[in-house]
Amino acid sequence: MKNKLFALLALMIIASMMLSACGPGTPPVVEVRWFVGLGTGTDPAQVTIQEEVVKEFNASHPNIKLVLEVVPYDSARDTLSTQIASGNGPDIVGPVGWGGSNDFYGQWLNIAPYMEKAKFDSSVFDPALIKFYQVEGEQVGLPFAVFPGAIYFVPALFDEAGLAYPPQKYGEKYVLDGKEVDWTWDTVTEVAKRLTVDKNGNNAKSPDFDRTAIVQVGYSAQWQSILSVATFYDGATKIYDGTKKGEYKSTMPDGWKKAFQWYYDGMYGKEPFMASGPLAGSPEFGAGNVFNSGKAAMGLTQTWYTCCLGDFAKAGNEFQLGIQPMGADGQVNGRIDADTFRIWKGTKNPEQAFEVLAYLITTGGDKLLPAYGAMPAIPSKTQAFFDKKAADYPFVTKESWDVFIQGLAYPDTPSSEQYQPNSIEATARFATFNDLMVNTEGLDFDAEYKKLVDDLNVIYNK
């Protein structure tokens, strides 16, 4: 009996010590799971940096235990689907872009109330970027890793043609034939035609131009989807209507049809200024990487393309950056590719999950963004990113790099990678339409466009 009393007393003492260690009113430690795999973040070097960020967060947040879960990209979608279906989804997912997020449309938490409760300072971001992460009126993310668009151009080719360079500040005019004009898609098209040259030195405006012997094009929609082409040309818009299966329908505006026609005519029209699919795929034109081949005077694409112009520079080429053009409505039709973190709406710890998210996009981002090779969404934190780019491309001017920072004010809202019902099949149908356009001369464009819309109406409602 005495031994039992001693044992009971010992247990009470231990329990008392544990309660004392926690202190009165000390909240319990909450575990927050961070799922990586739907986008970048799975390379060993990136995993090491992510583990460092987790360690630093846990050291500075004793009431939260952040746990990293890295899943190979090829199996990440299925793994996350299984976890969510079983009610055991992670608290935070990312970095993930719009495409990966769309696979789980409707599963993301509206973080606006938690931003307000935490008094999160969103003024560090461009207001347009905050809106960029709103879906159906809900704030489902915050800016983090961004890739604004710009016109990459080759000054030497402009000099050879006697043409002014693209403007580098939004609102500036372009000088064409001694007159100031707006930097619109009509202007870009005219300039691009004058920069498209055949083997005899004739440009696309010349009656002697040989379209079968093009050696240089004026413009390349560098690695842009057909949805991106339309967004750049006519502006961002929601492209479907309806709220449930059986009611969905395609609502692409006439401006997008015009954009697709412009794109096709740029390759196969009377005065071509873009490389067709066969020409772009040739070794001389970079086997698809047209601007990198040095055979394109301009290419419109995002910041991430600066990863891959080493061969271009080694060949003695130089590039600079110009602003994105305006559409027919006088508005700049910008594009931003973007990765961020999202919170699963089934999380049991939304406040703690938001605390982690806020850390990852600010303090943690100082280590994560260089590992991801991304431009920070916070303008005051971009210097290190551009210092690295300046070392890679010392010929690029500060004015050029600043074009990307200005571009943060011109996101495509909604994104050209927006959600569509039956998104995977719908996106594939657009890709098929693009392949048909770039590879088919003499296409019955109106008929094929109608077929695209009809097919989308079926796909959306499957």
pLDDT of residue 7: 45
Contacts 24+ apart (CB under 8 A), 444-447: 445/260, 445/261, 445/264
The CATH number assigned to the domain with range 148-336+419-460 reads 3.40.190.10
Q: Name the pTM for this structure.
A: 0.92
pLDDT of residue 17: 43
Phi, psi of 249, deg, nearest 5: -155, 150
Candidates 3.40.50.1820, 3.30.300.30, 3.40.190.10, 3.30.560.10; correct CATH number of 28-146+337-390?
A: 3.40.190.10
* pLDDT tens profile 118-158: 999 999 999 999 999 999 999 999 999 999 999 999 999 99
Q: Where do the structural domains in the chain lie, given as residue ranges?
A: 28-146+337-390, 148-336+419-460
* pLDDT tens profile 46-87: 999 999 999 999 999 999 999 999 999 999 999 999 999 999
User: Rounded to an integer, what distance in angstroms lies between the CA atom of residue 259 and that of residue 299?
Assistant: 17
pLDDT of residue 448: 98
Domains 28-146+337-390 and 148-336+419-460 share a fold: yes
pLDDT of residue 26: 65
* Backbone φ/ψ region at 25: left (φ over 0), alpha (ψ -120 to 50), beta: left
pLDDT of residue 27: 72
Dihedral over Cα of 118, 408, 129, 430: its sign:
negative
pLDDT of residue 6: 43
pLDDT of residue 24: 54
Helix (H) or strand (E) segment spanning residue 155: helix 155-161
Non-local (6+) Cβ contacts of 208 within 8 A are 200, 202
pLDDT of residue 47: 98
Low-confidence ranges of the chain (pLDDT < 70): 1-26
Q: How far apart are the first and last CA of the chain?
A: 73
pLDDT of residue 421: 97
pLDDT of residue 21: 46
What is the crossing angle of helices 398-406 and 383-392, to 10°? 140
pLDDT of residue 329: 86
